[in-house]
Amino acid sequence: MPLRTALAFPPFSNPYPPGILRTLAHTNASVAAALAIADRKLAELGHPPVTRRLTGEASGPAPGPDTEYVHNLVAATLVPYSVYASLELRIRPAILLGHGAGFNVGSVITDLMSMAETIDVLLGGYLEAERISLRGGMLALAADQRTARALCRQVSEDGLHVGMINTPNQTVVCGRFDDLDLLEGHAERRGIPCRRLAAILPIHTPLFRPAAVRAVLRQEERTVRPVLPPLYFTTECRPVIETDTVRNASLAIWTKPANLIESVADLQENFGINHFIEVNTTPTLAPMIIQNAHPGTRVDGPPLGITDAADVLPFLNAAC
């Protein structure tokens, strides 16, 4: 069977290596413009520019935890967008998206939001999450996602949600402190180890919701239907826009959704994806994809020696 490929980029909690956009920032005007917009928005919040980190060598003192978090958040949109924008036109891929930063990449590419609006939404979500963090936290459960979701439902219908999946057998749950106390006791009674995480911003959902709401409004305001690349949105995003033309795509970019396991099955069963490549410096997603993919699925870990996004392009251009 011909390969129908999805590229898995890391979530915003995984930092990219310094200088990852070094070449693209000098050779692609849209990448340079996106970085300039991000720097301007960061300056408005009193954070140092992200351009120095994404286009230069690692130097100087390490950034503080707040800056580290915000830079990772912004980079999770800028890096996949920059790779997409720099691919050869003849093989521009579909965009297979989860929520959060992945949703924002697709919003820019499909003109549901501008880059300036997208960065504004990300940083607005950051401020909202910062306020919520005063009342909530994170709990890592030594359980798969399905088990974690079931435990959450048994404790609280609306106060807990799965924030991320770190490994096939560890799921991080976000929620209010009182709900997390209940979940912790509930899990321990069932013999499931768990531990609290020291996270500065423990609530992920606010980073997604503003982007989804704004994109829905923009879509409703359109008088001419846009020409979109093939799109796939995971469960939380499907009410926004959905098209099955992804079936015709040979290459796709996918940033990690929280419902990773369900997405792998859906992509294979409904869209024929039979090849996954993780684009990262350490394989964080590939083990989970391997565990949950159909037998015979090809799963490639991250290419070795990726220190500049430009190094990824020949690899991706050849994938088609």
Taking only the tens place, the pLDDT of each residue in 240-270 is: 545 555 566 666 676 665 567 777 887 888 7
- Where is pLDDT greater, at 31 or 288? 31
- Where is pLDDT greater, at 179 or 92? 179
pLDDT above 70 for 317: yes
Q: How confident is the model at residue 32 (pLDDT cuts 50, 70, 90)?
A: very high
What is the homologous superfamily of the domain 5-125+205-319 according to CATH? Malonyl-Coenzyme A Acyl Carrier Protein, domain 2 (3.40.366.10)
Q: Tell me the average pLDDT across 110-135.
A: 76
Per-residue confidence (pLDDT) for residue 187, from 0 to 100: 95
pLDDT above 60 for 194: yes
Token look-up 């978090």 returns: 69
Per-residue confidence (pLDDT) for residue 211, from 0 to 100: 60
Per-residue confidence (pLDDT) for residue 141, from 0 to 100: 92
Residue 229 CA to residue 33 CA, distance in Å, equals 22
What is the percentage of the chain residues whose pLDDT exceeds 70? 69
Per-residue confidence (pLDDT) for residue 245, from 0 to 100: 52
Q: Tell me the average pLDDT across 199-212.
A: 59
- Which region among 21-30, 269-278, 290-299 has the lowest average model confidence (pLDDT)? 269-278
pLDDT above 70 for 164: no
Per-residue confidence (pLDDT) for residue 127, from 0 to 100: 77
- In the chain, what are the domain boundaries? 5-125+205-319, 134-197
Per-residue confidence (pLDDT) for residue 23, from 0 to 100: 94
Q: Confirm if 236 and 259 have CB atoms less than 8 A apart.
A: yes
Q: Tell me, which fold does domain 134-197 have in CATH?
A: Alpha-Beta Plaits (3.30.70)
Token pair recorded at residue 18: 């310094």
Residue 84 CA to residue 30 CA, distance in Å, equals 11
Q: Confirm if 278 and 298 have CB atoms less than 8 A apart.
A: no
End-to-end CA distance of the chain: 13
- Where is pLDDT greater, at 269 or 14? 269
Query: Beta strands of the chain (E only): which ranges?
Result: 5-9, 94-97, 136-141, 160-167, 170-176, 194-197, 231-233, 251-255, 275-278, 298-300
CA of residue 108 relative to chain centroid, distance:
14
Q: Tell me the average pLDDT across 207-226.
A: 65
Token look-up 């899990």 returns: 187
Q: Which amino acid is at 237?
A: C
Token pair recorded at residue 190: 């069932």
Q: Tell me the average pLDDT across 76-105.
A: 74
Per-residue confidence (pLDDT) for residue 182, from 0 to 100: 94
The mean predicted confidence, pLDDT, of the chain is 77
| Maximum average pLDDT range among 171-185, 207-221, 244-258, 282-296 | 171-185
Per-residue confidence (pLDDT) for residue 117, from 0 to 100: 82
Q: How confident is the model at residue 221 (pLDDT cuts 50, 70, 90)?
A: confident
| Maximum average pLDDT range among 38-42, 81-85, 119-123 | 38-42
Per-residue confidence (pLDDT) for residue 266, from 0 to 100: 79
Q: Which amino acid is at 296?
A: G
Q: Tell me the average pLDDT across 8-21.
A: 78
Q: Tell me the average pLDDT across 211-230.
A: 65
